Each structure stands twice: as C-alpha cells, then as structure tokens.
Amino acid sequence: MSTVRSAAAAMAYRAPKTIFGFFAILMGILASGVVFAVGILARYRELHYLILPILIFVGVVFVLTLVGVFLTAWKDPTKLMLSIANRNVRFL
C-alpha cells in the first residue's frame, strides 16, 4: 500500500519550470475552449459560418505563440527559464 501512496505522491502536479510548460498549459486551455465552442456552434445550423473563422484565429494564435517562443529560445535561451533568476540574467 505504501508503494501506491508514494507513486501517487510522485504524480502530484508540479509547476512548469520553463516558459514552454507555461505556454503548453495555456494552449491546452485554449484548445479545450475551442472544442467546446465549436461543439456548441455545430448544433445550430445558422451558426456554422462562425466555425471556420474561430479555427483560423486559434491556428494563428498557436503559430504565433510557437514562433515567438522559438525565436526567444534561439536569441537567448536563458530568458525561457522561469525558476532560475540570478544577477547575470537580464530580463526584458
């Protein structure tokens, strides 16, 4: 029984250590909201025209977020660390 408890304790939520984890959580929330919204819009034939613009908007947000994070990582990877801050790191 103690093995099960230790395994459950090890699986506890841990805050993301990098900006990648933070943006992954935000993008997951955004994707869940879009699935919910499209599901509701799909029920009403009069609202079908709104589905494509919503999907395009979310796609653009995803791409711009990824591009922004990867450009930041390419330019200065130390800016992506959330948990490490010392005197040598200059923030934006």
The span from the CA of 27 to the CA of 66, in Å, is: 10
Q: What angle do CA 73, 26, 38 make, to 5 degrees?
A: 130
Confirm whether 10 is domain-assigned.
Answer: no
Three-class SS state of 92: coil
Confirm whether 28 is domain-assigned.
Answer: yes
Residue 85 above 60 pLDDT? no
pLDDT band at 18 (very low <50, low <70, confident <90, very high): low
pLDDT of residue 16: 53
Three-class SS state of 10: helix
| Sequence-separated (6 or more) residues with CB below 8 Å from residue 53 | none
Confirm whether 5 is domain-assigned.
Answer: no
Looking at per-residue pLDDT, the higher value among 23 and 29 belongs to 29
CB 65, CB 27: distance < 8 Å:
yes
CB 80, CB 21: distance < 8 Å:
no
Q: Taking residues 8-23, what's their average pLDDT? A: 64
Total domains in the chain come to 1
Residue type, 69: V
pTM: 0.62
Which residues form the domain of 27? 17-80
pLDDT band at 47 (very low <50, low <70, confident <90, very high): very high
Q: Which residue has the tokens 């459950």?
A: 8
pLDDT band at 77 (very low <50, low <70, confident <90, very high): confident
